[in-house]
Amino acid sequence: MANTGKLIGADYSIARDSGSWAAPAHIPLIGAKDIKITAKPAGEADASDRVSTPVYEKKIPIRHNVEWSFNALWNGGAGLAALRNALIAGTAIRLALMNRRPAATTTGGGVGYRGDWLIKKGSFKFGLRDAQTVDFAGCPHGDPTNAVVSFTDATTTLGTAETQATKKIGSIGSVNDSANAPITAIKDISLDIEWDTCDATDRTAASPDDYDAYMATRIKLSAGIAFQWKEDDTQLVAFRTAWKANSAILLSILDGAYATAGSWGVGAAGGVSWSITDYPLDANLTDGQLYSVKLVPAGNYTVAPAFLTTS
């Protein structure tokens, strides 16, 4: 039976697959909040001609371009962690995107896309007065085992449901110095992970499943931290010293305390080398002196960037 009723946003589902391509077992990502699908032609040919008077602009859409994004409260749980792991590895992950929750229902299966996707971006934010959030974005993978296709879900058996994990609050995130000590003057923290990609689209797939596809090439990391200046704080003075000397500063940026097992982020014992690329100050008349510092991995480094899970 075809879907006939009006669907609400909460019906839409992004699901991992613990089964096989022939017999999927979808596991919905329970943490996904607002989901957006961008769908448009990959190219357009100008097909204007002299057939009619007046002359109208006419176009022929060519191939398809589909990408998705969603935000979530970061919890380190199995679903979001699977996307994070695919992100930092630059490898494909099999997902199904559909306009209904998976498994057979009285109104029929969901319609959408399934296949191997590249997680091309993940933006983590650890705000002082907010929950920890993450924004993921994905596109079809250019070297897939199973290329992305349009599909109607016929799943009758779900994979093992994801167990809800504790949502993290922003204030437990940390920036740690070369002695692995937290810099407690830090207010808001962000950590952005994004891949440069190459266009791996070819003629393998035929219409209507001729989706543009991409492969990861170079990973880009950047971090943002905000703090109110305190002249006698030696940890903050270290940022000014590094900025003035164009030298690297050793830091670990994590979603929890360095001393807490299981905290994850970019770092190492003693920190990894970061360069300060922006060091702006806002000194408003009715506020404190607020710095918003941007960091990227240092080119002249003593410790190369690395992803860390504390133990």
| 110-144 per-position pLDDT tens digit | 899 999 999 999 999 999 999 999 999 999 999 99
pLDDT at site 205: 86
- pTM higher than 0.85: yes
Q: Which residue stretches of 104-188 are H helix?
A: none
Q: Which two tokens stand for residue 192?
A: 């952005």
- At 5-38, the pLDDT tens digits run 788 999 899 999 999 999 888 999 999 999 999 9
Query: pLDDT tier at 296 (50, 70, 90 boundaries)?
Result: very high
Going by C-alpha positions, the residue among 183, 161, 209, 275 that lies closest to residue 39 is: 209
pLDDT at site 155: 73
- At 33-46, the pLDDT tens digits run 999 999 999 999 99
- At 164-187, the pLDDT tens digits run 999 999 999 999 999 999 999 999
Q: Is 135 exposed, middle or buried (0-12, 13-18, 19+ CB in 10 A)?
A: middle
Residue 210, amino acid: D
160 neighbors 18 (Cβ within 8 angstroms): yes
pLDDT at site 178: 98
Query: pLDDT tier at 1 (50, 70, 90 boundaries)?
Result: very low
Cβ neighbours of 90 (radius 10 Å)? 17
- Render the burial of 200-223: b for 16+ CB within 10 Å, e for the rest: bbeeebeeebbbbbbbbeebebbb
Separation between Cα atoms, residue 76 and residue 61, nearest integer Å: 41
Residue 107 scores a pLDDT above 60: no
Residue 249, amino acid: I
310 neighbors 262 (Cβ within 8 angstroms): yes
10 neighbors 32 (Cβ within 8 angstroms): no
Query: pLDDT tier at 154 (50, 70, 90 boundaries)?
Result: confident
Give the percent of the chain with pLDDT over 90: 86
Query: pLDDT tier at 102 (50, 70, 90 boundaries)?
Result: confident
SS3 49: coil
pLDDT at site 105: 55
Sorted by sequence, the CB contacts under 8 Å of residue 23 that are 6+ apart come out as none
pLDDT at site 2: 46
